[in-house]
């Protein structure tokens, strides 16, 4: 693929036979900064069968923006937290702000929080402390906990067990193998699969086995846009409409029709995020 191709977004696909939810995206990082740009981005998604999106924060400015964006368009919902790579800066100001923002009726999850041992922006100790605090916030508000887990499977599970997991736990951009998926499913957790689950390299084999094995009632799909564009567009700019490609690929992997999987993950998203209770939906 040439450099020019890598800057070109994937083509807009034929719409899915049933609408789905992009369970985790970053509209601001995709380039949307105002209401008109959010509308255009979500219009593109809806034309591909992605009727609603959850736009997710990674710092306080982003958290404020996601809540504002969710008020601009009824197809947009918000999740707020401080990303684990920023946990060294997690203090009273962050706690107070997030407590205020999470009360907004269009905030449907506490996230993304968790642990990231791949990058060294924050030491493990403040990450774990912040993760424990976010677990408490999710339980306090009754909203799902959206987890970022990178190279930290065992500590994530251990801390969830020690703190007592919230009623709903979502592993965003699930990155484990089939055995770790089995453990998460048995614990009642929900696994959200991004474009990485469509990759064809050897490192993705275990992840694809996991995606093939998870019950549809505990499965979501996402873009994590602007990152992780699905196969065969790996490396290109990503947007919520590209969930379409992920759904089609995973349906084939699982031996299901595209419509069956689309309906299943949409039903799961409705339940997990309690979308029927969100004002303006």
DSSP lists the bridge partners of residue 193 as 221
Which residues in 62-71 are b (16+ Cβ under 10 Å) and which e?
Answer: bbbbbbbbbb
Q: Is 178 exposed, middle or buried (0-12, 13-18, 19+ CB in 10 A)?
A: middle
- CA nearest 152: which of 131, 178, 182? 131
Residues at the annotated binding site?
24, 26, 112, 148, 172, 224
**Rounded distance between C-alpha atoms, residue 152 and residue 124, angstroms:** 10
pLDDT for res 277: 84
pLDDT for res 244: 98
What are the pLDDT tens digits along the chain (281 aa)?
444 477 899 999 999 999 999 999 999 999 999 999 999 999 999 999 999 999 999 999 999 999 999 999 999 999 999 999 999 989 999 999 999 999 999 999 999 999 999 998 999 999 999 999 999 999 999 999 999 999 999 999 999 999 999 999 999 999 999 999 999 999 999 999 999 999 999 989 999 999 999 999 999 999 999 999 999 999 999 999 999 999 999 999 999 999 999 999 999 999 999 998 886 66
**Rounded distance between C-alpha atoms, residue 240 and residue 228, angstroms:** 11
Q: Is 260 exposed, middle or buried (0-12, 13-18, 19+ CB in 10 A)?
A: middle
pLDDT for res 125: 96
pLDDT for res 6: 76
- For 2, residues 6+ apart whose C-beta sits below 8 A from its C-beta are none
Does 3.20.20.140 match the CATH number of domain 22-275? yes
Which tokens hold the place of 256? 């299901």
pLDDT for res 156: 98
CB 49 within 8 A of CB 245: no
Q: pTM score, two decimals?
A: 0.96
Q: Is 47 exposed, middle or buried (0-12, 13-18, 19+ CB in 10 A)?
A: middle
Which tokens hold the place of 250? 């995973």
> Where in the chain are the domains?
22-275
Residues at the annotated binding site for a divalent metal cation?
24, 26, 112, 148, 172, 224
């Amino acid at each position: 693929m040439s450099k020019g191709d890598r800057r070109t977004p994937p083509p807009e696909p034929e719409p899915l036979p049933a609408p789905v939810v992009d369970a985790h995206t970053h509209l601001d990082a995709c380039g949307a900064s105002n209401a008109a740009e959010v509308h255009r981005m979500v219009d593109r998604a809806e034309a591909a069968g992605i009727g609603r999106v959850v736009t997710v924060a990674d710092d306080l400015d982003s958290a404020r923006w996601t809540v504002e964006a969710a008020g601009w368009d009824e197809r947009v919902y918000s999740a707020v937290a401080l990303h684990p790579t920023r946990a060294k800066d997690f203090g009273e100001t962050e706690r107070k702000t997030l407590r205020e923002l999470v009360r907004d009726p269009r905030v449907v999850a506490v996230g993304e929080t968790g642990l990231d041992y791949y990058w060294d922006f924050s030491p493990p100790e403040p990450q774990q402390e912040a993760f424990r605090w976010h677990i408490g916030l999710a339980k306090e508000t009754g909203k799902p906990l959206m987890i970022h887990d990178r190279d930290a499977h065992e500590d994530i599970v251990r801390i969830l067990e020690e703190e007592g997991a919230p009623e709903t736990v979502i592993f965003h951009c699930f990155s484990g193998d089939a055995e770790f998926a089995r453990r998460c499913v048995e614990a009642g957790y929900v696994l959200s699969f991004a474009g990485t689950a469509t990759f064809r390299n050897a490192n993705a084999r275990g992840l694809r086995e996991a995606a093939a094995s998870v019950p549809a009632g505990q499965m979501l799909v996402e873009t994590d846009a602007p990152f992780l564009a699905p196969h065969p567009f790996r490396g290109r700019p990503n947007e919520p409409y590209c969930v379409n490609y992920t759904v089609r690929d995973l349906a084939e992997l699982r031996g299901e029709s595209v419509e069956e999987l689309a309906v299943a993950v949409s039903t799961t998203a409705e339940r997990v995020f309690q979308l029927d209770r969100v004002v303006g939906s």
